[in-house]
Amino acid sequence: MNSALTSIKLVLLGEAAVGKSSIVLRFVSNDFAENKEPTIGAAFLTQRVNMGDHTIKFEIWDTAGQERFASLAPMYYRNAQAALVVYDVTKPQSFIKARHWVKELREQASKDIIIALVGNKLDMVETGAERKVALEEAENLASQEGLLFFETSAKTGSNVNEVFLAIGQKIPLKSAQQQQQGQGSSGLRINDDSRVDLRAAQDGPAPSSCNC
Amino acid sequence: MSFFDSLRQKAANVKFLDKLADNFTPVMNRDEKFRLEYKLPEEEHVLDDTNADVSILNPYKRAKRAENSERSELAYVFSGRLYLTPHYLVFRDSFDSTSCNFTLNISTIRKVERAPIMSYAYSLAITLHCGTRMVIQFIGLRNRTDQFCHKFKELLRENIPNTKLLAPFLETCYSEYLIARNVLRESDVNPPPGGLGQRYRYPGDASKEKPKLKLWLDYFQDQGKNLTIVKNHMFYKLIRVGVPNRLRGELWEVCSGSLYSRFANPGEYKRLLEANEGKDSRAIEEIEKDLNRSLPEYAAYQEKEGIQRLRNVLTAYSWKNPDVGYCQAMNILVAALLIFMTEEQAFWCLVSICDNYIPGYYSKTMYGTLLDQRVFESFVEQKMPLMWEHITSHDIQLSVVSLPWFLSLFFTSMPLPYAFRIMDILLVNGPKTFFQVALAVLKINGEDLLEVDDDGMFIAILKNYFQTLDHSAHPDSADIRYRQITKFQELLVVAFKEFSIITDSMVDQQRSKYRKDILHNIESFAKRTQLRNLPQVRNLTPDNLSNIYDLFYLCIESHKISMGTGSSNMDFEAFVQFLSKFCDWCKPSESDERPNFRKQKRAFLKRLFTKWGSSGSQELTLNDVVFGLDGLLSKDLMSSINYFFSLFDEQGKDEINGESILQISEALLFLTEAWKSGRYVDKLTQKSIEDDIADSIVMNNSAKGGTLEDIELPAGVTIDEEKYKQEQAERYLQAASNFLQRSFEYARPSEEKEVDLIDLSDDETESKQAKEKKWESLKANVALNPNQTSVMDLATFRMIILADETYEMFFAHTLRNSIHVDEKIGSRDSRGGALRNMFDGFLADGKRVASQVRRRVDSVATKNSSSSGSAAEATDIQDEVDDFTSGHTFEHDDLLKHDLISLEDNEGNEPNPESQRKKLESFSFSDPSETREHSLIEFEA
Ligand SMILES: Nc1nc2c(ncn2[C@@H]2O[C@H](COP(=O)(O)OP(=O)(O)OP(=O)(O)O)[C@@H](O)[C@H]2O)c(=O)[nH]1
Ligand SMILES: [Mg+2]
């Protein structure tokens, strides 16, 4: 823990039940719950990740997906440095919604926000469900808008850590110094002992990357 | 001041009001307040009220007392106010409502007698179905009392049919079972159907269940139960210490008033479900997504039965209140209710909670949630200034922390058993409860919270706090009794003792204070979102879209939208309203009095409505309207003509038949009516007026010579409005006739014999009336000679339009400029009637007159001859007209030659002193003393 620490405020947006909370749960606790309660308002979680010579602390805002909660979203993406815009690869409507979110972020959020487009529930396609959002379509959107793009499964854990890793790599380190003050002030640390080492995720198989 | 300066100044003075859509602020009337206070159903309202002293005698209590002594008829007397509503007799103690209040359903009354108490007073003794007796002693004037009793008697009679409902209803109440079993010692009774807890157990520690039940059993014996319960201090105390699980359902019903609505609406829940069985909706889709995700830790919700109950209640509510439909968090609330209640009970309880405790929380815009967050912030600011200072100085967003508490009634924040306890208190104490608890949470954790500086850490600290509510609040205390106090107990004490200063009326006050802001924010947020997600358009600017958005929602009642109710689509009537707000040709006018015009108007608007609508629905969305206007506002002449044609070309074959040709001509007639009747002036007329003004200025000043700066006007300038109106009207009539005539000339596909139409070739001497008549007969003529085979294609239509200067101008300019998407809401209202409109047009274009004058002056100065001045004028006009037609001239060269009526009816460039004089006659400088009265617009210099 002597390495430099960068805090990243990250927000998850996307239609209800696409698996935002599940992605966070996978990333933070390497766990999956079949019946996850819908997020009411938003949930806040943190996770620290070692990346070579520095540590990144993700401050994750997991928002509610239902349409009517959209007016609350600015509260959460305010000052966010990164966003995961999540859709469900088996639900075309959720991809339309993802487009809207990207647009809104581009217009309303911090100018240099890093956005990752995430197509979740890939495992369902692999186990026979019909894919409804074509890979190319999503890739097109990503390249047009300059987004990171991943297809993931929170259930199997596939590609989840990679999303966060990619964001971690894109965050300019400079903010690390700026954010350093104030770290020691609070007595409370969440998930201090369940860190994910993303360097391992790069080489080894993704799901087993948690070193807790 | 020179003439132009004054023109400019006048133009600048035209006021543009920027009125915001009036926000909707509900004001509760007396009955609404009354219903809210006593949690009574919609149909109740105060019929009469009076002061009275009330004492209550309970049969069980009497029996008990009788065993001890003979002082049976003694009881406390409460002084208070008595109210009558259609189904209820309501009483509340005047000094302290918690010392005695009841909401008695009239059908529970079995007998009413004059009581023989104290001769001077008027008293009634009431016996209830369960044997309880009440004595009511009226206070006040005798005739008021008589009046009250008379009304009471009437109501007793009216409520007799409801007594039949009583027995089956009571069978659903656990309190009845409790009495039957334990007091009446009936052995063959079964508990009524209840919540899932009956089978799947109740969350939390059940050790105190028995003693708590015993306390309530005593209370019911003393003070009645369910529909006849009298609430006193003891009642509130028992609620505060925690309700036994078995009675929780019924007590929630009593406290929330849902007991009354369930009693008033027997069978409605079932009917709602049956009537909507198999139907689909957005809400149902959303509900299905969450069914497996509602209190998944409670066993019943992992099974079909629990999930089915949840589905039924949520679905029934979405049908009952389609404006709300389904909001995430309702699933959790209902899942909690269903642990203690049957489906029907939970349904009515949900209705009552949504209406009375958390209004607007679950609406489509969630305005109630946002509002209460604002209210909460204001309480923190007032009551915890230090915390507030910390929060603001570190830019912490408090609502990020507290919103989930309110939205899910603490169910997702605290362990369930504690959340149930908060719910017990909420239902009896009202909405202030949330604020009290939330403030207490901040207060208790104040020290830790003041240490951290972002909202994330706030959440983390409080999450930890909520998870340890069962821990000791004072683990280090030496005193064991102190150590035994849990954090939850501490929370209740702080919330309801320290923050008892927060009252319901304060909450109300703050809610009304911030309501407007919140609704406004929601409106502008919704607007930004919607505008952002509109599809690409070509002819509308972002400002235009913003104005269209405002008008659109103005016409479908925007306040309802921000409260999350009502449809966000536009029906035909609203559409007509909408267009009339910013389209000159759709504005209400005298023309609307003519049935024929009304018919034309309706036909055209219907056509637009249908064309703009997508997928044949009876309503237009904002997208539809934007797309439609984008087409109608095509920027160039050709696409404007094409678009108009496409409105009539239903098959999209670039071709329309005879019937449609008639309709097109009717539509044109409707669209141009505003100009034909002189309410507006088009570019051609405007130019002719400007030229006349310029000419006369030049004429008047040429004698003096000199430069433009020297030109000044005498006291006043007047324009003969009538003359120009007349000219313009004739031009439009002529255009209409030409159109119809040519349409049927050119539409004919094969060479057939000439139809002998009335000749409408230009005849300047014809009167307006005569032309009007001619058009009618022409139309009749065509209609009588239906050329079934005749069709007109797009190219021909284009040609015909371009052949007529007025119609060409109409599509090139007039139509587009008559659709004021560039003006904000309200700015149009500031303009007066027709004259003002015309006048404003000139004011805005004062510059153009100025340039006309400058050219004339220049040419006068150089050539110093009046005839060359006139030549210059003709060239100028040519230039200007070219602005609108350049590029298309070649297409209609051949058509132009015989029909073109134009400003320059003085053929060629020959000076025509005659016509010039004629023009100038209508335009004169006049003495202020001898103004020509009506039909003159006056420019005061
Ligand atoms: N098969 C599969 N199911 C998933 C996956 N991710 C999430 N789910 C399931 O999808 C449902 C919704 O997941 P959540 O993580 O709660 O979705 P959310 O986006 O947070 O939903 P809201 O909070 O309502 O916006 C849950 O039942 C999850 O178990 C996945 O990768 N594969
Ligand atoms: Mg979630």
Interval B777-835: pLDDT, tens: 666 665 555 544 577 888 888 988 998 889 999 999 889 888 988 887 766 544 433 44
Candidates B294, B399, B453; nearest CB to A182: B453
Least confident of B329-343, B781-795, B850-864: B850-864
Which atom of ligand 1 is nearest the CA belonging to A156?
Answer: 31
CB contact under 8 A, B370 and A71: yes
Phi, psi of B219 (to 5 degrees): -60, -45
pLDDT on residue B566:
60
Cα(B461) to ligand 2 centroid in Å equals 21
Q: Which among B317, B243, B233, B229 has a CA at the least distance from the CA of B273?
A: B317
Q: Are residues B260 and B211 in the same domain?
A: yes
Q: Give mean pLDDT, residues B281-302.
A: 92
B550 and B607 belong to one structural domain: yes
Asked, for residue B274, whether it belongs to a domain, the answer is yes
CB contact under 8 A, B296 and A44: no
B103 with B233, same domain: the answer is: no
C-alpha distances in Å from residue B210, one per residue of B191, B247, B573, B613: 16, 11, 63, 65
CA distance B335 to chain A (A): 12
**pLDDT value for B384:** 96
Task: Say yes or no: CB of residue A121 within 6 Å of ligand 1.
Answer: yes
Ligand 1 pocket check for A34: Cβ under 6 Å: yes
Find out whether the beta carbon of A35 lies less than 6 Å from any atom of ligand 1: yes
**Same domain (yes/no): B44, B95:** yes
Nearest beta carbon to residue B329 from set A40, A44, A72? A40
Which of A121-130, B104-113, B236-245, B705-714 is the least confident region?
A: B705-714
State whether B509 and B430 are in the same domain: yes
Q: Could you give the number of structural domains in chain B?
A: 5
pLDDT of residue B708: 54
Q: For residue A49, how far is the Cα from the chain centroid?
A: 13
Strands A4-14 and A54-63: parallel
> Which residue in A15, A71, A93 has the most chain B C-beta atoms within 10 A of its own C-beta, making it the best mutation to test that interface?
A71
Query: Is B196 in the same domain as B61?
Result: no
Ligand with the closest atom to the CA of A125: 1
Q: What is the pLDDT of residue B204?
A: 85
Residue to mutate among A32, A45, A68, with most B CBs inside 10 A, is A68
A18 at B interface, C-beta within 8 A? no
Last residue of a domain, one of B294, B322, B357: B357
Atom of ligand 1 at shortest range from CA of A33: 29
Q: Are residues B417 and B507 in the same domain?
A: yes
E strand or H helix at A13? strand A4-14
Within a domain: residue B528?
Answer: no
Could you tell me the two tokens for B129?
């179905």
Chain A residues within 8 A of B455 when measuring between CB atoms: 44
Does A36 contact ligand 1 (Cβ within 6 A)?
A: yes
Percent of chain B with pLDDT over 70: 74
Decide if pLDDT at B765 tops 60.
Answer: no
Report residue B275's pLDDT band, with 50, 70 and 90 as the boundaries.
Answer: very high
Range B265-288 average pLDDT: 94
Asked if pLDDT for residue A1 goes beyond 70, the answer is: no
- Residue nearest atom 30 of ligand 1, based on CA coordinates: A121
Identify whether B421 is part of a domain.
yes
Mean pLDDT, chain B, integer: 79
Of the two residues B721 and B492, the one the predictor is more confident about is: B492
Give chain B's length: 941
One-letter identity of residue B102: F
Do B375 and B509 share a structural domain?
yes
In a domain, B99, yes or no: yes
Q: Which two tokens stand for residue B432?
A: 């202030």
Whether the complex's predicted ipTM is more than 0.85 is answered with: no
| Residue B607 scores a pLDDT above 70 | yes
Whether B290 sits inside 8 A of A182 (CB atoms) is no
- pLDDT band at residue B846 using 50, 70 and 90 as cut-offs: low
Of B663, B645, B664, nearest in space to B654 by CA: B645
Give the residue with greater pLDDT, B393 vs B697.
B393
Are B526 and A71 in contact (CB < 8 Å)? yes
Tell me the percentage of chain A whose pLDDT exceeds 70.
80
Residue A22 Cβ contacting ligand 1 at under 6 Å = yes
Does any domain span residue B143?
A: yes
Percent of all residues in chain B with a pLDDT value above 90, rounded to a whole number: 40
pLDDT of residue B707: 54
Alpha-carbon span B26 to B355, nearest angstrom: 14
Per-residue pLDDT of B36-56, as tens digits, reads 889 999 899 999 999 999 988
Residue B644 in domain? no
Mean pLDDT of A62-89: 92
Gap from CA of A19 to ligand 1 centroid (Å)? 3
Pick from A155-159, B456-460, B665-669, B875-879: least confident: B875-879
Q: Which domain holds residue B811?
A: 652-692+724-747+790-819
DSSP reduced 3-state for B937: strand
Distance A80 CA to ligand 2 centre (A): 18
For residues B839-853, give the mean pLDDT.
Answer: 57
**Rounded to whole angstroms, how far apart are CA atoms B89 and B71?**
28
Task: Show which of B161, B191, B216 is a domain's final residue.
Answer: B161
Q: Is residue B671 part of a domain?
A: yes
Q: What's the CATH code of the domain at B259?
A: 1.10.8.270
- As a whole number of angstroms, the distance between CA B117 and CA B119 comes to 6
Residues B81, B94: Cα–Cα separation, whole Å:
6
8 Å CB contact of A69 and B289 = no
**Residue B349 shares a structural domain with residue B382:** no
Expressed in angstroms and rounded, the spacing between residue B686 Cα and the centre of ligand 1 is: 66
A42 close to B (CB below 8 A): yes
Residues B597 and B662 in one domain: no
Query: Nearest CB to A104: which of B289, B400, B529?
Result: B529
> What are B364-381's pLDDT values in tens digits?
888 899 999 999 999 999
B741 within some domain: yes
- What pLDDT score was predicted for residue B499? 95
Q: Both B669 and B812 in a single domain?
A: yes
Average pLDDT over residues B770-778: 67
Q: Which atom of ligand 1 is nearest to the CA of A152?
A: 31
Q: Is the CB of A38 under 6 A from ligand 1?
A: yes
CB B800 within 8 A of CB B742: yes
Distance CA B367, CA B517 (A): 11
Centroid of ligand 2 to alpha carbon of A64 (angstroms): 6
All structural domains of chain A: 4-170 (3.40.50.300)
pTM over 0.80: no
What are B137's strand-pairing partners?
A: B53, B123
Does the structure show a pLDDT above 60 at B925? Answer: no
Q: What is the pLDDT of residue B778?
A: 66
Chain A residue whose CA is closest to B409: A40
A164 vs B395, which has greater pLDDT? A164
More confident residue, B698 or A54: A54
Measure CB to CB from residue A75 to each of B302, B397, B532 and give the nearest one. B397
| For residue B564, pLDDT beyond 90 | no
Q: Is residue A166's pLDDT more than 90?
A: yes
- Averaged over B851-855, what is the pLDDT? 66
Domain match, B433 and B483 both: yes
Q: What is the 3-state secondary structure (H, E, C) of B841-890?
A: HHHHCHHHHHHHHHHHHHHHHHHCCHHHHHHHHHHHHHHHHHHHHCCCHH
pLDDT score of B928 more than 70: no
- What phi-psi label fits residue B569: left (phi over 0), alpha (psi between -120 and 50 degrees) or beta? beta
**pLDDT of B70:** 47
Asked if residues B932 and B718 have their Cβ atoms less than 8 Å apart, the reply is yes
| Tens digit of each residue's pLDDT (9 = 90 or more) over B151-204 | 999 999 999 998 899 999 999 999 999 999 888 888 888 899 999 999 999 998
The predicted structure's pLDDT at residue B222? 84
Decide: A13 in ligand 1 pocket, CB within 6 A.
Answer: no
Contact at CB, A40 and B453, closer than 8 angstroms: no
Domain boundary among B311, B334, B357: B357
How many beta carbons lie within 10 A of that of residue A212, not counting itself? Answer: 10
Q: What integer pLDDT is reported at residue B521 of this predicted model?
A: 84
